[in-house]
Amino acid sequence: MADNKKRLVANAAGNFYVDATCINCDTCRQLAPDSFKEVGGLSAVTSQPQGDRQLLQAYQALLACPVGSIGTERGEPARLRTAMASFPLRLDEGLYYCGFNSEQSFGANSYFLLHPEGNWLIDSPRYVKHLVEAFEREGGIRYIFLTHEDDVADAAKYAERFGAKRIIHRADAQAVPDAEWVVDGTETVPLIPEFHMIPVPGHTPGSSALLHRDKFLFTGDHLWWEPDRRRLESPRELVWNHGELLRSIEKLLDHRFEWVLAGHGDRVHSSPDLLRMKLMELVERRRSAVRT
């Protein structure tokens, strides 16, 4: 629960605020970019939400915050219930952002994907009753794809509840020693029809992306969208191996996709040709950095 006594001075006057427990994970800024910005290395409410859309987004951010650092001076129970009901948040046909980001994964995003042969959870949100019931209504979870060791969070609880198989690369499997499906190697692996696991070592040795139908690319902490600069980006810090990271970015040029669905950082939906161009620009920036 946020504490108004710890309210950051960077917050604009008004109902919503961020307190000093913020971990700067970016969740609120992704969900409610009109209201939340980064100030001094932490998130803050730089513009109080106005109107139904902004207020919904602000309450979504409050619920999704992994450490409960967003609060209000006066509650609006009806709006809070509406925001709760919006999760999982629909992004595209059969694709949902889970919300309820976990502190265990430093606030990483997770996704729920409907599929007639069994639904998928990509990385893990907090284990909360609301999501369990939402997943139950859609037929449960058959597979839990873990992009890397950092974003496992409550995957074990969801796997036990739904009898799901957890999938992870062997190089990161120490984070899930009892994983039901461990994948080896550096080549793209077909998991089941329409699903491909693409090893992308760099951030961690076992970082992997999941590509579904040449449309949805789930990237974990390997690749994300920077909306202010309108470009794709990848880690510069907390990198296990920079050379492997560059090769992994280059590897994605062999694939087509319409969505980049990141664990940390913004997601983006665009044409495959534009995303390939943005990926090539990222590769060139990184190659230039190596040359210099």
Please write the tens of the pLDDT for every residue from 110-149.
Answer: 999 999 999 999 999 999 999 999 999 999 999 999 999 9
Mode of pairing for the β-strands spanning 195-199 and 231-233:
unpaired
Rounded to an integer, what distance in angstroms lies between the CA atom of residue 143 and that of residue 117?
A: 10
Rounded to an integer, what distance in angstroms lies between the CA atom of residue 90 and that of residue 87?
A: 8
Rounded to an integer, what distance in angstroms lies between the CA atom of residue 166 and that of residue 151?
A: 12
pLDDT of 1 = 85
Could you count the other beta carbons within 10 Å of the beta carbon of residue 289?
11
State the Rg of the chain over Cα. Answer: 19
Are the C-beta atoms of 54 and 76 separated by less than 8 Å?
A: no
Full strand arrangement of the beta sheet holding 120-122: 89-92, 95-97, 111-113, 120-122, 143-145, 165-169, 181-183
pLDDT of 290 = 74
Per-residue pLDDT in tens (0 to 9) along the chain, 292 residues: 899 999 999 999 999 999 999 999 999 999 999 999 999 999 999 999 999 999 999 999 999 999 999 999 998 999 999 999 999 999 999 999 999 999 999 999 999 999 999 999 999 999 999 999 999 999 999 999 999 999 999 999 999 999 999 999 999 999 999 999 999 999 999 999 999 999 999 999 999 999 999 999 999 999 999 999 999 999 999 999 999 999 999 999 999 999 999 999 999 999 999 999 999 999 999 998 876 6
* Residues β-bridged to residue 36: 45
Q: Which of 47, 46, 75 is nearest to 59 (CA)?
A: 75
Q: Tokens for 52?
A: 């139904």
Amino acid found at 286: R
Question: What tens digit of pLDDT does each residue of 226-271 get?
Answer: 999 999 999 999 999 999 999 999 999 999 999 999 999 999 999 9
Phi-psi bin for 211: left (phi > 0), alpha (psi -120 to 50), beta? beta
- Domains of the chain in start order, with CATH, are 4-84 (3.30.70.20), 88-291 (3.60.15.10)
Q: Tokens for 278?
A: 């943005």
* Residues β-bridged to residue 89: 97
Mode of pairing for the β-strands spanning 143-145 and 120-122:
parallel
Are the C-beta atoms of 89 and 99 separated by less than 8 Å?
A: yes
Amino acid found at 106: F
Q: Which of 209, 203, 287 is nearest to 245 (CA)?
A: 203
* Residues β-bridged to residue 16: 72
Collect all residues with Cβ–Cβ distance below 8 Å to 51 and sequence separation of at least 6.
Answer: none
Are the C-beta atoms of 70 and 16 separated by less than 8 Å?
A: yes
